[in-house]
Chains A and B, each alone.
Chain A
Amino acid sequence: GENVEQHPSTLSVQEGDSAVIKCTYSDSASNYFPWYKQELGKGPQLIIDIRSNVGEKKDQRIAVTLNKTAKHFSLHITETQPEDSAVYFCAARKGGSYIPTFGRGTSLIVHP
């Protein structure tokens, strides 16, 4: 089955810096890659997603890049703010399936 690796497990940055979280996947049939933000005591919220027919997608301060050949995708957050502090999960889903495989999560801490 699919295996998703996520790094780093913890990321600490200063407010205003950029943060990058990287994920790799194993199944070349995966074609949908969502990113979720989970604040303490809450459920994950979809913040951005990318499908395999594009290489990059941007939404204000967040962007996701996908390299299908290398089977990795990354989340980029620019001009980080303390409210960006949360756990971020990447996921990969195969075509024909609606069950994603999640990474283990990255705890992002933005220091004011």
Chain B
Amino acid sequence: TQLLEQSPQFLSIQEGENLTVYCNSSSVFSSLQWYRQEPGEGPVLLVTVVTGGEVKKLKRLTFQFGDARKDSSLHITAAQPGDTGLYLCAGVYAGNNRKLIWGLGTSLAVNP
């Protein structure tokens, strides 16, 4: 069974703090996606990483794909209340015919 683990499950921080969310697996991904979901809405795609060691930045969000393509991280600098939401990673395992495997998500609350 292919599993994609996210940590931490819950995170509550003050505005201005930094944080990192992790997405880990024992299997190799061919690609991995990060989504953010706000209350009452569907998930929104933030980024797709494909190459081992790849780093992508989206304003204060930095996404990194592990060298071995088995893990990924999302780092938020100077978090703001607008960053509050459920952060989800979803990966396509190598040789798995494009089937997406989803993590359970990290629920982030940024307090003013």
Question: Do A and B belong to a common assembly?
Answer: no
